[in-house]
Structure formats: C-alpha cells, structure tokens
Amino acid sequence: DTGVSQNPRHKITKRGQNVTFRCDPISEHNRLYWYRQTLGQGPEFLTYFQNEAQLEKSRLLSDRFSAERPKGSFSTLEIQRTEQGDSAMYLCASSLLRATQETQYFGPGTRLLVL
Amino acid sequence: KQEVTQIPAALSVPEGENLVLNCSFTDSAIYNLQWFRQDPGKGLTSLLLIQSSQREQTSGRLNASLDKSSGRSTLYIAASQPGDSATYLCAANSGYSTLTFGKGTMLLVSP
C-alpha cells in the first residue's frame, strides 16, 4: 500500500455544476478526514469519519457539501451547485487511532477550479 | 477556538545554514502537535509529531520542540539543503482529532 490516493487530481467545472471527489485511505486506517486549502492558507477541517460514521462536520461544510464513507473504506465528497468560492485544493487524510498516537497521512489533493 | 500562527511567513537562506521555524497556538490544552512539509501544488508530508507529554522529537536533520505552557513549538532544520525548499506547516490537535493549521512558512534554500 503506497498511501492515501485521491481522484481526480484536477477538476475544472462551470459554476452551478455538481462535482464528486474520491479518497482511498491507507488500508486498515479507521479514520478519514477532509480538508480544504486555499492559496496561501493552511488546510481547514471540513469533516471526518471513524469507520463509516461521520463524527464531526465543520461549519464550513454548507448544505451543498456532502460526504460519505460507505463500508468504512473509500470516501466521496460531493459539492452541489458549485460556486467560484469553492475553488480550492481538497485534501483527504487518514489515520489509525491507537491510544494517544494518531498521525494523519495526507493524499495529494484534488484541485478544483470553478469558472 | 484554537488559533495557530507561524512566523516568519517566508524565509530565504543560503545552503548550509541552520534555521528555526516558529509556531504558536492559543489554546495550550493540545493533544499533540504535528509538523508537515508541503511542496508546491502537492499534498502534505508528515515530518514530526510531538505528543503533549513530550518536549521534543528528532528525525534526521529535523528537531521539533514543544512548550505547551507558553503555547509554542519550533522546528529546527540543521545544515539546510536546496531540497528542503518547501512550505512548512504546523498543526495543533486539540483533542477532538481535527487539526488546526497555521498558514505555513515558505522556505527557500539557495545553492
């Protein structure tokens, strides 16, 4: 297993269209996170799953955003009716919660451009 | 609400210099603190994780320290190389498993 993978790596869409991103975590990792990063900023937390349960959602995650992790494996992040302000890098991370040790491993990201 | 600040925002040094990157956080009740590296247009690579009970962690030429009481962490890079050029991000885990990131320090090491 080579790490967290994300697809697609780049997505260009027109305002108002729906887009879906996929994240495949490191196998055996029980936690999966989504972050959003805009230019010159650090990543901002969006949501996370423990196995298939979505445990927390940021207030940044408007009702146009939905995330799923069926069967506790891969995850999808869908953005409906995209807006230009959604343009950003969407990062996925996974971790294995073990007592007090939890290092998050990040994927390469999906860069979204909304025209 | 946790806030993380990184200073300086950008740093340019000649190859071979030792350097220190600074990170401060407002809520000292952290679970751990993690340092990442990000190359342009890429994802994040984890460098070091310091548990709240630890004072420092080392990996090769990198040493990260943590002072919870003052809300500070530093990343020390010894004998810098051009390949170290990247943006370095610190992130605080306040116990809810989500990370709060700083904006990063963009490092350029010139040959």
In this prediction, residue A100 has a pLDDT band, given cuts at 50, 70 and 90, of low
Under 8 Å between Cβ of A34 and A21: no
In this prediction, residue A60 has a pLDDT band, given cuts at 50, 70 and 90, of confident
CA pair distance B41, A54, nearest whole angstrom? 28
How many contacts (CB atoms, under 8 Å) link A and B? 62
Task: Compute the nearest-CA separation of A16 from chain B (Å).
Answer: 25
Task: Compute the nearest-CA separation of B35 from chain A (Å).
Answer: 10
Q: Is the model more confident about A101 or about A50?
A: A50
- Chain B segment 42-61 residues within 8 A of A by beta carbon are 42-46, 49, 51
Q: How long a stretch of residues is chain A?
A: 115
Percent of chain A whose predicted confidence (pLDDT) is above 90: 73
Chain B hits for A24, Cβ within 8 Å: none
Summarised one tens digit per residue, pLDDT across range A27-55 is 989 999 999 999 989 999 999 999 999 98
DSSP result, A18-79? -EEEEEEPPTT--EEEEEEE-TTS--EEEEEEETTEEEEE-TTS-TTEEEE-GGGS-EEEEE
- Chain A segment 49-108 residues within 8 A of B by beta carbon are 55-56, 58, 91, 93, 95, 97, 100-108
Cα separations (Å) of B44 from A16, A41, B47, B82? Answer: 30, 13, 9, 18
Binary contact (B98, A48; C-beta < 8 A) = yes
Task: Compute the nearest-CA separation of B103 from chain A (Å).
Answer: 4
Chain B hits for A48, Cβ within 8 Å: 97-98
User: Does the pLDDT of residue B41 top 80, yes or no?
Assistant: yes
Q: Which residues, at least 6 apart from A79, have a Cβ–Cβ distance to it below 8 Å? A: A18, A19, A20, A64, A65, A86, A112
